[in-house]
Amino acid sequence: MGTSANKRTIGFSAGFPEENEALPFAEHSKRSVFRVHNTLGWITPAILIAGWELTARARLVDSSLFSSPAQIAAELWKITLNGELLSHLEATSLRVLAGFAIGVSAATVLGALTGYSGTARRLLDPLLQSLRSIPSMAWVPLFLLWLGIGESSKISLIALGAFFPVYLNLMNGVRNVDRKLVEAGLANGFRGFALAKAVILPASLPAYLTGLRQGLSVGWMFVVAAEIMGASRGLGYLLIDGQATGRPAIMMSSVILFAICGKLSDGVIATLSERWLYWQDVYRT
């Protein structure tokens, strides 16, 4: 097709010329990859660490209470070499992973059910909402009583914590799916499971992913509680152990490791969200 701008056609028989001359659309590029290169995000922590180190060297703080970055790094290096760090990381991550997986599975089934069916919602939601208002720490002694001090009580506590954000977000996501899209599905013969798969699930995916992110962060919060209530391995144990043995560098290492683990695992879901929600029509800065 020609490109002459002043070629004129009378009437509409020419079809839709402007689009016919447009560039062909490539198979859609899923909006891309890990944001490892967010260099700006490193600036603030780098400045803080440098300032902290300088303050420590100038002996402005009591180093027996507040370790310097260099002391923490040395401590971390030591437990890396003797294998302790890996063992603690492994224990904590596995607990979070297991608890999160169990909580998310239950929340996905129940959230989808109560979102989709009004009867299921009236039947189950009041109970679940009242369970949600129980402070998490109130469960600790009960779980210890029922499940003992081993892994199952810890994993259950984490699962419970991860459950509610996922459940609530998914239920509301399903309930608030745009009626207009549902009608477009109905008008094209989609019913029941087909409608759920073609319209309702994709439309509630953003809310679900938000729930997953919140659930995971609650999981990391609860693992501390779970490990403080008695453990021989794990980052929470490291914290308590550092306290018992009067080693602030160990305690601060533990806190920093929690921050890193939380951020990394959140980054995984954030990256998945970007990949799966590339279609969203949102304002981006």
Pick the binder of other proteins from 199, 212, 229, 231 (CB under 8 A): 199
HSE-up of residue 47 (Cα within 13 Å, Cβ side): 4
User: Which range binds other proteins by CB under 8 A, 100-108, 147-155, 207-215, 276-284?
Assistant: 276-284
Interface positions, 203-242, toward other proteins (CB under 8 A): 203, 205
Among 281, 283, 284, 285, binds other proteins (CB under 8 A): 281
CB of 194 to other proteins, least distance (A): 4
* Site track 27-56 with other proteins (rule: CB under 8 A), x = hit: xx----------------------------
1 interacts with other proteins by CB under 8 A = no
Euclidean distance between CA atoms 77 and 237, whole angstroms:
18
- Using CB under 8 A, which of 2, 24, 83, 135 touches other proteins? 24
Residue 280 touching other proteins (CB under 8 A): yes
Token representation of residue 174: 């399903």
Q: Nearest 10 degrees: CA dihedral of 174, 175, 179, 182?
A: 40
User: Which of residues 182 and 270 has its CB atom nearest to other proteins in the complex?
Assistant: 182
Non-local (6+) Cβ contacts of 269 within 8 A are: 209, 212, 213, 216
- Residue 190 interacts with other proteins (CB under 8 A): yes or no: yes
Strands (E), 160-215: none
- The answer to whether 83 contacts other proteins (rule: CB under 8 A) is no
**For helices 201-228 and 248-276, what crossing angle results, to 10°?**
170
Q: Looking at 10, 19, 40, 58, which residue binds other proteins (CB under 8 A)?
A: 19
3-class SS string, 227-267: HHCCCCCCHHHHHHHHHHCCCHHHHHHHHHHHHHHHHHHHH
Using CB under 8 A as the binding rule, whether residue 10 contacts other proteins is answered as: no
Query: Closest Cα partner for 89 from 98, 81, 80?
Result: 80
Binding pattern to other proteins, positions 147-186, x when CB under 8 A?
---------------------------------xx-xxxx
CB-count exposure of residue 185 (10 Å: 0-12, 13-18, 19+): buried
Stretch that binds other proteins, among 16-24, 70-78, 134-142, 231-239 (CB under 8 A): 16-24
Give the distance, in angstroms, between the CA of residue 105 and the centroid of all CA atoms in the same chain: 15
Nearer to other proteins, 203 or 228 (CB): 203
How far apart CA 141 and CA 143 sit, in angstroms, is: 5
Please count the residues of this chain forming the interface with other proteins, following the rule CB under 8 A: 33
CB atoms under 10 Å from CB of 204, counted, come to 25
Angle between helices 69-81 and 84-116 (to 10 degrees): 90
Say whether residue 9 binds other proteins (CB under 8 A). Answer: no
Instruction: Decide: is 198 part of the binding site for other proteins (CB under 8 A).
Output: yes
Enumerate binding residues for other proteins (CB under 8 A): 12, 15-16, 19-20, 22-28, 180-181, 183-191, 194-195, 198-199, 202-203, 205, 279-281
